[in-house]
Chain A
Amino acid sequence: MKAFTVAKAVTALMLAGLVLLPLYSSMSGNIFILTLFTRIVILALAAASLNLIMGFGGMMSFGHAAYLGIGGYAVGMLAQEGVGSGFIQFPVALAASALYALVIGALSLRTRGVYFIMITLAFAQMAYYVASGLARYGGDDGLTVYKRSDFSGLINLSNRTQFYYLCLACLFVVLLLIWRIVNSRFGLVVQGLRSNEQRMQAIGFPAKRYQLVCFVISGMMCGLAGALLANNTDFISPAVMYWTRSGDLMVMVILGGMGTLFGPVMGAVVFLLLEEFLSQITEYWALIMGPLLLLIVLFGRGGIMGMLGRAGRG
């Protein structure tokens, strides 16, 4: 075990809090907090997946919310067609996300920098309009998911606590995967490409292949978040794919600390709690939230994780 640091202590505290939350919820009878945190955990998963390509891979995708929609619609559409089994819905959600990522990635990765941001945004908006046009599945109004994914009695998604723990387990598994990937051969190549693509090509790595695989892995992870999200809200609409939602995910990643394992989780928790509590105080909450985020991004290099790291060094 390496030295104690403030960042590690805060991270451990946050994770322990997430694990123990249902206990607090049932003791205090506060059901609302469990619902809120289920959403936070799901979006933390989405933010973590974005961080894999954005923080570690240097690929600034501005269309990540598309996967939330794809995963969600996979669940919603299958449910509508009478396929209620989660053993089918979830693999389909992952496969559809992977396919979308493969096509979009192959096209987008021909560009760099601002063009990459714009083209991923454009594709996500296309996905948004396609979803709006699905008349059979509610079009603009969205689609109600009348029955949550059925896992043959293995786990009951309609039970709040069980569903929360499923989401949390998914988050932890994804974080573990990201941690392993980041330190693997593959992960080092992807991070090397972020740092200096020309150098990596010169020592013999075909850049695009590695970036595309990373892009697909990240998309599948976010598709999983989408499938969970549709179950959480019992509803899926094109709104989850709207570009502002992609922006929210980016803010969570940057706020928490790009390229750190737990930063996006921290970012999601802080972002969504702020949004929740500020919106209870005033309907002009965005007026407070905006400048606050701006300050953190401007003065807290490396986001919350960066600030905690500096606090640890005194």
Chain B
Amino acid sequence: MAEPLLRVEKLVRRFGGIIATDNVSLDVAAGELHAIIGPNGAGKTTLISQLTGHLEPHSGSVSLGGRDITYLPAYRRCALGLARSFQITSLLLDFTAADNVALAAQAHAGTSFRFFGNARKEKGLRDAAHAALDRVGLLHRADVLVSRLSHGERRQIELAVALASKPKLLLLDEPMAGLGVTESQSMVKLLQELRKEVSIVLVEHDMPAVFALADRISVLVYGRVIASGDPAAIRANEDVKRAYLGDQHVVTHHG
């Protein structure tokens, strides 16, 4: 079998006496959309933070395309093709939408120790920004300050920023968080498009969305992966039903 794009092995992270990530191992193959689900406090964001480099694990390893990245700082992982979106929208509020995305493109287009030329007039960067904004359907808002955009629009900008770095692997931390019904639906549609181009790790609470999108699902409970498999297997798994899904009948109805 080919080397998986992302391999997580026996990752452990503690906060005081709490084990937030307990021996987590998982593989994400190239081209796959791998969803990570779990109840609140299961350690999903802690896990994502270790993948992105915002948090160091106490033991275990993370490798991307066969390269060990366990202790690489966030910006180096980004250069290797790992991009993320934040659960709580994290953008440059006093910059325009286009500036936000163009900066992400700039990070991957040569050195930024250039002190003279006007960066906002660099055609390559602007074009990349506009393309990414177009991709998420926000081209018409390119020159609006992010602080003036709605929550839903900011979620889409998050995605555009991640896309602008032309990643191999996209880590999406609850992209649907706080979105209305129609907004969620268009986000699902958008992710369905994107997954053809890039491998995705999706952390999400919205079960219909997860089951509609995922190739494989890993279920995290108390920091431990209790099950991993395709949506049908997860849906049928007794442990998962008991520990997490409970009577959430939506799961059996959708998908």
Residues of chain A within 8 A of B119, CB atoms compared: 183-185, 187-188
Closest to B91 in A: A199
Q: Which chain A residues lie closer than 8 Å to B106 at the CB level?
A: 185, 188-189
Q: Which chain A positions have C-beta within 8 A of B120?
A: 183, 188
Mark interface residues in B67-108 (1 if CB within 8 Å of A CB, else 0): 000000111001100011010001111110001000110111
Interface string of A178-216 (1 = CB under 8 A from B): 001101111111011001101111111110001001000
C-alpha spacing A190/B84, complex, angstroms: 21
Determine whether B182 belongs to the interface, using a CB cutoff of 8 Å to chain A: no
Contact pattern, B 188-219, Cβ under 8 Å of A = 1, otherwise 0: 00000000000000000000000000000000
The interface residues of chain B lying within 8 Å CB-to-CB of A195 are 92-95
**Contact A205 to B112, CB < 8 A, known contacts A188-B103, A188-B106, A195-B95:** yes
The reply to whether B112 and A202 form a contact with Cβ atoms under 8 Å apart is no
CB-CB < 8 A to A192: which residues of B? 92, 95, 103
A193: min CB distance to chain B, Å: 9
Nearest to A201 among chain B residues (CB) is B74
A200 to B78, CA, bound (A): 11
Query: Does B161 touch A at the CB level, under 8 Å?
Result: yes
Q: How many residues of B contact A (CB 8 A)?
A: 35
In angstroms, Cα B34 to Cα A267, docked, is 56
Cα-based distance from A183 to B118 in the complex (angstroms)? 5
Q: Is the pair A185, B92 in contact by a Cβ cutoff of 8 Å?
A: no
Chain A residues with Cβ below 8 Å from B79 are 204
- State whether the Cβ of B117 lies closer than 8 Å to any Cβ in chain A: yes
Range of interface residues on chain A? 20 to 34
Task: Provide the bound-state CA to CA distance between A213 and B113, in Å.
Answer: 9
- Which residues in B have their C-beta under 8 angstroms from that of A180? 115-116
Is B21 an interface residue, CB under 8 A from the partner?
no
Instruction: Name A205's contact: one of B54, B86, B107, B118 (CB within 8 Å).
Output: B107
Q: Are B90 and A203 in contact (CB under 8 A)?
A: no
Most central of B91, B92, B94, B165 by chain A CB within 10 Å: B92
Which of A184, A191, A206 has the largest count of B CB atoms less than 10 A from its CB? Answer: A184
- Complex interface: chain A residues within 8 A of B108 (CB): 204
Enumerate chain A residues within 8 angstroms of B84, measured Cβ to Cβ. 202
Interchain CA distance A186-B114 in the complex, whole Å: 5
Q: Known contacts A184-B114, A189-B112: does B75 contact A199 (CB below 8 Å)?
A: no
B75 with A204: CB separation less than 8 A: yes
Contacting residue for B165 out of A188, A191, A203, A213, CB 8 A: A203
Q: How far is the CA of A184 from the CA of B122 in the complex (A)?
A: 10
Residues of A within 8 A of B83 (CB): 202-203
Q: Mark B122-141, 1 if CB is under 8 A from A, else 0.
A: 10000000000000000000
Q: Does B52 contact A (CB under 8 A)?
A: yes
Bound CA–CA A187/B122 (angstroms): 14
A196 CA to B93 CA, complexed, in Å: 8
Question: Hey, what's the 0/1 contact readout for A22-40 against B, CB within 8 Å counting as 1?
Answer: 0000000000000000000
* Closest CB in chain A relative to B230 CB, distance in Å: 30
Considering the chains assembled together, what is the distance between the CA atoms of A199 and B161 in angstroms?
10
Contacts of A189 in B (CB 8 A): 103, 106, 112
Say how far A186's CB is from chain B's closest CB, in angstroms. 5
A residues in contact with B99, CB < 8 Å: 188
Q: Which residue of A lies closest to B80 (CB)?
A: A204
Residues of A within 8 A of B116 (CB): 180-181, 184
Say yes or no: A181-B115 contact (C-beta < 8 A), given A189-B103, A204-B79. yes
Cβ B90 vs Cβ A198 within 8 A = yes
The minimal Cβ–Cβ distance linking A218 to chain B, given in whole angstroms, is 13
Decide: B118 and A206 in contact? CB cutoff 8 A: no
**CB within 8 Å for A210 and B91 given contacts A188-B119, A202-B78, A204-B78:** no
**Nearest-CB distance from B101 to chain A (Å)?**
9
Interface mask (B151-169 → A, CB under 8 Å = 1, otherwise 0): 0000000000100010000
* Neighbouring B residues of A204 by C-beta, 8 Å: 75, 78-79, 104, 107-108, 165
Residues from chain A with a CB closer than 8 A to the CB of B78 are: 202-204
Q: Which A residue's beta carbon lies closest to that of B74? A: A201
Please name all residues of chain B whose beta carbon is closer than 8 Å to the beta carbon of A186 when the two chains form the complex.
112-115
Which B residues lie at the A interface, using CB under 8 A? 52, 54, 73-75, 78-79, 83-84, 86, 90-95, 99, 103-104, 106-108, 111-120, 122, 161, 165
Write the residues of chain A forming the contact surface with B, with a CB cutoff of 8 angstroms. 180-181, 183-189, 191-192, 195-196, 198-206, 210, 213
Task: List 13 contacting pairs A-B, 8 Å CB cutoff, sorted by A.
Answer: A184-B117, A188-B106, A188-B120, A199-B92, A199-B161, A201-B75, A202-B52, A202-B75, A202-B90, A204-B75, A204-B79, A204-B165, A205-B75
Across chains A and B, which 8 residue pairs bring their CB atoms closest together, nearest first?
A: A204-B78, A204-B107, A195-B92, A203-B104, A185-B119, A185-B114, A185-B112, A201-B74
Contacts A186-B112, A205-B107 supplied; 4 other A-B pairs, CB < 8 Å: A180-B115, A186-B114, A195-B93, A199-B161
